[in-house]
A = this chain, B = another copy of it.
């Protein structure tokens, strides 16, 4: 009990320091949740009263669209507006996309010395769901640490990216000119997840056409899912020289206002909490499955499946039954 008490005191100290702006305390707390430290549950409980204040913004888009530059420019704009900003750069790293992260992080270095900006990269090559779960805990830490806006930028491309985006209150999808066919092909998926579109590199050929196409798409495909009254804006930007930042900031503010006005913020956060609680519960059940019969039950059933004595569904049903004992 004493050790636990000391840990609790440490956790409270860490949270207090994090809220006073100490980047080391923030980093330490994220490490605790990221590596599923034994103190994880204590940390989660201690963070709880301080959460629910930040505007969580997801940024995503295909490779080459200028996501990191856009994130960096957006950080500058948010800072100029008086916000403390947390950035979580998430890379659902496939074995083929390991290279980009470091270079991208270096571009963010202009904010490295600003104590009101906290930047963290997260990458994993582990089991499914692990990254989204770790990212959601990291968002909770940044929220409790008092950051006004938390940007969650995904570097990779794939299902994991979409899962990470589900953490956000507002999702910004970045596109660039000259990806016309891609937009057509992707329109269903992109329309599903975007609250705001950014057409970056808007000084390039074809930018106007891309903006126009997207606006048409938005007009045709009003999202029924999250309320018909929000019409996704399409914001042209040139992130490298900051053009369009003010408009993007205004769009973010508008969307947050809309979320609040329509009860949509609560609805989204409820859905997020639901997914989070379910994922944690399933993770615990996975651990318990692994412990059945002194750790042998799953292997024994798998051997019978390979030996064609039991089909995998019947084997799974036995696991479920065993768990209830």
Contact = CB atoms under 8 A, between A and B. Distances in A.
Given A96-B189, A157-B97, A314 B181 contact: no
Interface stretch (A46-54, A218-226, A238-246): A46-54
13 contacts: A45-B314, A49-B308, A94-B157, A94-B158, A95-B189, A95-B190, A97-B186, A125-B159, A156-B157, A277-B301, A277-B319, A281-B320, A323-B323
Contacts of A94: 157-159, 161-162, 189
A308 B52 contact: yes
Nearest to A290: B278
Contacts of A286: 278, 282
Given A273-B302, A278-B289, A311-B45, A98 B284 contact: no
Report, as a range, how many residues of chain A touch the other chain.
Answer: 35 or more
A21 interface: no
Nearest to A301: B277
A51 B280 CA distance: 35
Contacts of A193: 95
Most central of A99, A181, A269, A281 by chain B CB within 10 Å:
A281
Contacts of A271: 302
Closest 3 CB pairs of A and B: A95-B189, A158-B158, A99-B185
Given A95-B189, A98-B185, A129-B128, A302 B277 contact: yes
A9 interface: no
A185 B312 CA distance: 37
Most central of A45, A96, A184, A266 by chain B CB within 10 Å:
A96
Quick one: copies of this chain in the complex? 2
Contacts of A51: 308
B96 A190 contact: yes
A30 to B, nearest CB: 16
Contact of A48 (B159, B311, B324): B311
A93 interface: yes
Contacts of A48: 308, 310-311
A54 to B, nearest CB: 14
Interface string A30-73: 00000000001100110111011000000001100000000000
Most central of A159, A189, A308 by chain B CB within 10 Å:
A159
A5 interface: no
Contact of A285 (B44, B163, B282): B282
Given A125-B189, A156-B158, A302-B277, A316 B96 contact: no
A306 interface: yes
